[in-house]
Amino acid sequence: MASFTYPFTVKQYQENIDDIYNSELYHKLPEDFKVVVNNNPHLLEYMLMLPVSQTGIPEFHTELTKSMSDIKEPNIIYPVSNG
């Protein structure tokens, strides 16, 4: 099994992992981001590990733009492929 090193302490989700759509984080997501995590539940599982109280909820963008390079502390999730 692969091992990952994150630049933060991984937060353990305290509730039943099968019930992630009732999490506080899920209910705070914008509607368009909810559609994305409904189709890609691994994104919500990942975000439940994040220290969102410190970093904030990541923004979802369908693509990166050149103007995003000006963001001082980017906190962005975006798709890398369709496959």
Give the model's pLDDT for residue 16: 65
The pTM score is: 0.76
DSSP-assigned letter for residue 67:
G
Q: What is the largest CA-CA distance in the chain?
A: 40
Domain locations in the chain as residue ranges:
17-77
Report pLDDT for 13.
Answer: 65
pLDDT in tens, 10-63: 777 666 666 889 999 999 999 999 999 999 999 999 899 888 888 899 999 999
